[in-house]
Structure 1
Amino acid sequence: MRKHGLASMRSILISLFVFSSSGLTADRAPAPDSVSSGSTNRPSSDRSIPAIGRLGNGVRFAILPRHGNEPGVALLMRNEGGFIAEHRPGERGLAHLIEHVVFHSPTVGSPDDLDHFTRVGLQLTLPAPHVATTSWRESNYFLSSKTAQTGDLDSILALLREAASDLTFRPDSVDGQRTSVMQEMAAKKLGNEIYASYIAAVAPGSPNDVIDAQNSDDVPTASIDTIRGLYQRLYRPENMVIVVVGNVKVDETRALIEKRFRSWKRTQPSPRHAPFPMFERDRIRPISFSALPQGRRTALVAVVMPTPAPPSSRDRQARADIMDLLVTRAINDRLVALQPNSPRGKVGMFIENGEQGHRQIMLWDNYIGDQWELAVAGLRKTACDLATSGFTPKEWATAKRNLVADLEHRTAEMPKVANVDLAKDLSHALADGRYLIPADELLRYARATLLHMDARSGSRWWRQQWRNGVEHLRVEAPELAKVTSPVAAIRAAADRAVSARPARWPDRHIAIS
């Protein structure tokens, strides 16, 4: 048993920022399919639809029956409340510390067992590079059982319940993990700095801009009482979600969750949750740069807008997802065609509905050497061409064929997707009030709707998206440290790319007409 610093946040181009991870080796929005308190919806004939419910004390659960080749089942416990909840003096970094302590703390029922979680868990679960993460809004614990036997699942749920409510925070166990957390964060310092700089430019005022990326200043000195106080404030029934994915029966699994978690009492009134901060549109700068000597070399053009409201129906979400995938495929194909001899992954585009409270559409070029000006020019011209001329019928038809092929491949690969990965995806979907729509369902929807999506509809959609957001151009290049005015130099490179057009780069909001 040992801990690893391997879990990462969702990446932008490359792995940018890692909050936390622990190894076990050798209500933001209503859930779309949720039901009334104390009940559960019945299994659907479509086995991709999870059974979702809530116990009387507020603990939520989602059970996704799935036949596969795995010997066991994935179990995930998600506790809402991460770095954003550390708003009292002396609490910075303690949510991360608690996550580490879980694996090396005695419990009320095992007061002398320093490694209770790992000792019991090793006998029941498969090895994994990491089994816990902490972000700005939650801590996750995820395990894959060795078997699907009821007794094993019950034992793991009992272990998770102990982690949620019964830690003793013995001083020697806490002190050992202080060092581990500080070492982990020190190893991620450069990535944190790069990511924090980017978020400050593209999503100012959002959680990962408001919260210091390191967020561990109080870990070395916080008292046991302070740590325990945060634990008791965050680890509460109403903040907890249990997700089970695998070859299980819904009613039996629900009964196991009830057995272990329904006796968890609310000991005090629930604290009022402040709304999460959202990005401040008016503070987005049109151009930003990074000149860190150890940094990456990349140029990107992004348009940022608020995250869309949760979909009103599964059909609406599927339609939106298909359009996102189709546009992404079309633009990626164009970017690759413009640089046919470039290595795979040098250029690309993606759409992200991020945890920062913003939707981001990004085109990037991971240029080589000192070619940042060429990269800026290429991205700027591509963005302008898309916003003015849109897609050609030929490239749109190719994109539709390629999207169907992609979805067919993903559908064929579905049995190979690990239960624990599906559990993570399902937990995020529940937290965001969205549906978890699998590849085979998207494929069926694509085949039924792509016929009615022509190049003109795609171009209209793209212009609307681009004009509804704020455009941001960013360059990361160590060479910019030698440039007197990097922003002016980047602006000039972008202007040259569209010099034939009458409009120059505006000072703030960039809307291409």
Structure 2
Amino acid sequence: MRKFRQASMCFIAAPVFVLSSSGLAADRRPVAGGVSSEIADRPSADWGAPAMGRLENGVRFAILPRQGNEPGVAVLMRNEGGFIAEHRPGERGLAHLIEHVVFHSPTVGSPDDVDHFTRAGLQLTLPAPHVATTSWRESNYFLSSKTRQSADLDGILSLLREAASDLTFRADAVDGQRTSVMREMADKKLGNEIYADYIAAIAPGSPNDRIDAQNSDDVPTASIDTIRGLYRRLYRPENMMIVVVGNVRPGEVEKLIEKRFGDWKSIKPAHRQETFPMFQRNLIRPVSFSARPQGRRTALVTVVMSTPVPSSRRDQQARAEIMDLLTTRAINDRLATLQPGSPPGKVGMFIENGEQGQRQIMLWDNFAADQWKPAVTGLWKTTCDLANSGFTANEWAAAKHNLEADLKQRTINMPKTANVDLAKDLSHVLADGRDLIQPDELLSYARMMLPRISARDASNWWREQWGSGVEHLRVEDPDLARVQNPVSSIRAAAAEAVGTYTCKLS
């Protein structure tokens, strides 16, 4: 298996149909059954408390000790500043290119070795299908050591430090990776374009709308100076985070991080942190459609709102996550009941927080050919019923019972979670200003909270959430190319669904 294979973030061509676990629901008012902050003091069955801090030069770190059964330790380096930072002329796609060059570039200390990172890393790390990603807001590099020995961990940290500050960008090394990036993005072009069209409809002006879906416009022609200039601007101590997860002593690991990254100084004066554009609420239209010949067939009802600032209280973060998970389960169960016999993933609902720069709630129906009208009427009626009647006592009781069972299983599976996956989770919550809440801790919060949340409480919470966003109905179907006025036809299908209700498209 090839050990170092780059894999940039692919903009998905369809929604990721999973339960949200990020849970940044707004803290506007208490939900019945608040949870105790004392739970956070209980020791986890598998994870210790993460040790977090910042070096004097600005490098952040987080160290999560756990017993685990892995032979080594996971190390993640996260650099803030991805596609959205490519705002200067000639920079499109270069953050992704830099990610590739890291693995195939000489360094200051090894000026004649194009494969220095790979050659040195082979001695230290386990094989992995992917070791790097680039998204709109960061680049990540994640490795797992073969052993828990300090020397191996130190060697990996040394490699990452060289990647962060010592690349030479020799022309032949860069040119080889230009081809690799262009090939990778060409393979994802259709999916990227479908996703970009979707984001442009539901969240115009947000990062994934503003950035080019292909993200490779300038890769073939950008000069070495331009590439190196972006590298120096983005790869700076204040933009860097190191995360280590495994059977380690946090104090010893912190000393290793200080040893390798503590003397790193920015070449240029500190620059202003990039600000991410928010979606433009006033530009969201009530209805949109896509009739791409090679597109997907799906109907979607969404609301988009600003991502709430997470509470500083751990128990409030847990409460928000539990409410998201409960509601997602209840609505998924309702949708499945309305279409018995449908294959998994045909209908569903999910909540996404923050990754796109906004909080997004979506219900979908991946319909078959010639079935877009029933899909629209079904989804629109469901959202209208929820807004008017809310949840029934039976479906809310079932959601609570099943969520507790899910959290029990997640607790049982805690020891099986890979160190590198925990490192990714920890990097995200640290970047977002949240806490990493373990499954067993979340289960404890849920057991206190669930008995006190009635279906009426849940219905009120849902109406407040849904009403906080901008509602949008979208249909994607190649068959719409034969419809004379798709928007009017979609509106008519929605109107047919609601009867005497007041759920009208604006």
Same-fold status (TM-score > 0.5)? yes
- Hey, what does 1:27 align to over in structure 2? none
Deviations 1:153-198 (A, max 9, x none): 0000000000000001111000000111111111110011011001
Aligned counterpart, 2:203:
203
1:448 maps to 2:448: yes
Match of residue 252 from structure 1: 252
Q: How far did 1:265 drift?
A: 1.4
Contact in 2 for aligned 1:106/1:170 (Cα 8 Å)? yes
Show CA shifts across 1:420-460 (max 9, x none). 11111111111111111121111110001111101010000
The residue aligned with 1:317 is 317
Shift of 1:7: 4.5
Task: State the match for 1:49 in structure 2.
Answer: 49
Aligned match of 1:34: none
Counterpart in the other structure of 2:67: 67
Name the structure 2 match of 1:13. Answer: 15
In structure 2, C-alpha distance between the alignment counterparts of 1:138 and 1:219, rounded to whole Å: 18
**Corresponding residue for residue 225 of structure 1:** 225
Amino acid at match of 1:111: P
Query: Residues 370-412 of structure 1, C-alpha deviation per residue, up to 9 Å, x if partnerless?
Result: 2111111110000000110001111111110000011111111
**Residue in 1 aligned with 2:5?**
3
Are the counterparts in 1 of residues 80 and 138 from structure 2 also a CA contact under 8 Å?
A: yes
Please give the secondary structure, in 1, of the residue aligned with 2:117: helix
The within-5 A match list for 1:64-463 is: 64-463=64-463
1:469 equivalent in structure 2: 469
In the alignment, what sits opposite 1:40? none
When residues 326 and 248 of structure 1 are mapped into structure 2, their CA distance, relative to the original with a 3 A threshold, is same
In the aligned structure 2, how far is the partner of 1:11 from the partner of 1:452? 39
Deviation, 1:357, is 2.1
TM-score, normalised to structure 1, is 0.91
1:77 maps to a residue whose letter is M
| Backbone CA RMSD of aligned residues | 1.6
State the alpha-carbon separation in 1 of the partners of residues 357 and 8 from structure 2: 25
Q: How far off is 1:355 after superposition?
A: 2.1
Offset at residue 273 of structure 1 (A): 2.4
Give yes or no for contact 1:7–1:130 (8 Å, CA) kept in 2. no
Structure 2 vs 1, CA of residues 44 and 52 (structure 1 numbering), >3 Å: closer, same or farther? farther
The code of the aligned residue for 2:401 comes to R
Indicate the SS of the match to 1:361: strand
Q: Note if contact 2:232-2:267 (Cα within 8 Å) is conserved in structure 1.
A: no
Distance 1:503 1:171, change over 3 A: closer
RCO higher in 1 or 2 (8 Å CA, sep ≥ 6)?
Answer: 2
Count matched residues.
Answer: 479
CA contact (8 A) 2:295 2:476 kept: yes
Contact 2:49 2:64 in 1 (8 A): yes
Contact 1:353–1:359 (CA<8 Å) still a contact in 2?
yes
CA deviation profile, 1:461-503 (whole Å, cap 9, x unmatched): 0111111111011111111111111111111111111133356
- Aligned 8 A contact 2:12 2:192 in 1: no
Match for 1:112: what amino acid? Answer: D
Output the CA distance in 1 between the equivalents of 2:354 and 2:430.
Answer: 14
**Counterpart of 1:37?**
none
**1:489 matched to which residue of 2?**
489
Q: How far apart are the structure 2 equivalents of 1:10 and 1:189?
A: 11
Identity %: 73
Structure 1: which amino acid aligns with 2:224? I
| Alpha-carbon shift at residue 349 of structure 1 (Å) | 0.8
* Contact kept in structure 2, 1:79 and 1:235, CA below 8 Å: yes
The separation in 1 between residues aligned to 2:6 and 2:231, in whole angstroms, is: 22
Shift in alpha-carbon separation, 1:6–1:87, aligned structure 2, 3 A = closer
Work out whether residues 200 and 209 of structure 2, in 8 Å CA contact, stay in contact via their aligned partners in 1.
yes
What SS does structure 1 have at the residue aligned with 2:129? strand
Q: What is the TM-score normalised by the length of structure 2?
A: 0.92
